[in-house]
Amino acid sequence: MAKPLLATVRGERQGRPPLWIMRQAGRYLPEYRAIRETVGTFLELCYTPELAAEVTLQPLRRFELDAAILFSDILVIPDALGQTVRFEHGEGPRLEPITPDGLGRLNADGVVEHLAPVFETLRRVKADLAPDKTLIGFCGSPWTVATYMIAGRGSPDQAAARIFALRHPEAMAQLLDLLVDASAAYLIAQLEAGADVLQLFESWAMNIDERQFAQLVIEPNRRIVKAVRAAVPDAAFIGFPRGAAGLVPAYVAGTGVNAVGLDYMMPIGTADASLPAALPVQGNLDPLRLLAGGEQMEARIEEIIAGFAGRPHIFNLGHGIVPETPIGHVERLVEIVRRGR
């Protein structure tokens, strides 16, 4: 049976845009919160295949979505490399910051073995997923993951990582090399476990100039795509360079991704005019429009669908759904998108 979302990533326009929602498995769902209370840590949930598979499938039981996305986190890679990673309740991730002298403590040799529970999650989801649904695997892109590894936490301007790259270019290159190799091996194993499509989350693509963007964002992502396709030639990629703005066309051209995710700050007309006419795009409703709901949300959904009607389009948010989002608003979003053009 055809998978509309996979077909769209590969360049086929559909009668209506297929739909999934970034962070569709998460805290806005009471069934997710119930499972989260049964485990001690967030990483424990990510590494327990029975529970992670259940969480992955929960939104598809509630909504008519076209894809499941693996429930995991971008920071399982530094965890697998040997960096201390923990998640503080209500405060986000905390890592032991990496210094140039500390890179030697990281080891990529056991990454695939360490992440074996993730692949078991994918196999379980694949076995239970309807044949017309696409299974999305993912990883954090090297620059984004490096910003957490260097700062030890998320930050609004990624200053610690930006300064690290400027003061210690050789150490940054070494760290990115390590992340490229680990990420490619991780993604190849995800495809082998049943993933249909891979999304590269470059969540911190903003705040760097075009020269650093080429070095820190485009080149590492290009190398991942190339390495994965050397093992799986038809591997399909969605790249999501959040905040890249006017550099999105360069990202698409330089990385070789099949489709590009657009954040909610990207104007529809700008994206449509600046990207190749046949390029599939994904996005890009503001998550706070979904949170607020009502006529403004419905009008914007229709505007996005109409704006990308001439190209392959996957409807999604322009970033992750926020935990306070009413379930009724998500139901209305799905209803409008599934109604078609």
10 is catalytic: no
Cα dihedral 71→129→304→11 (10° resolution): 110
Helix (H/G/I), strand (E/B), else coil: 182: helix
Contacting residues for 258 by C-beta, under 8 A, at least 6 apart: 9, 10, 11, 236, 237, 238, 280
Q: How far apart are CA 187 and CA 208, in angstroms?
A: 26
Q: How far apart are the first and last CA of the chain?
A: 23
Of residues 10, 13, 27, 62, which has the active-site annotation? 27
Helix (H/G/I), strand (E/B), else coil: 56: helix
Which residue, among 280, 219, 278, 228, has the nearest Cα to 254 in the 3D structure? 219
User: Could you tell me if 148 and 78 are in contact, meaning their C-beta atoms sit under 8 angstroms apart?
Assistant: yes
148 is catalytic: yes
Of residues 28, 32, 148, 186, which has the active-site annotation? 148
> How many Cβ atoms are within 10 Å of 114's Cβ, its own excluded?
18
Of residues 47, 66, 73, 196, which has the active-site annotation? 73
Residue that is written with structure tokens 């490229």 in the block: 180
23 is catalytic: yes
73 is catalytic: yes
Of residues 23, 223, 242, 311, which has the active-site annotation? 23
Of residues 16, 36, 94, 300, which has the active-site annotation? 36
- The catalytic residue positions are 23, 27, 36, 73, 148
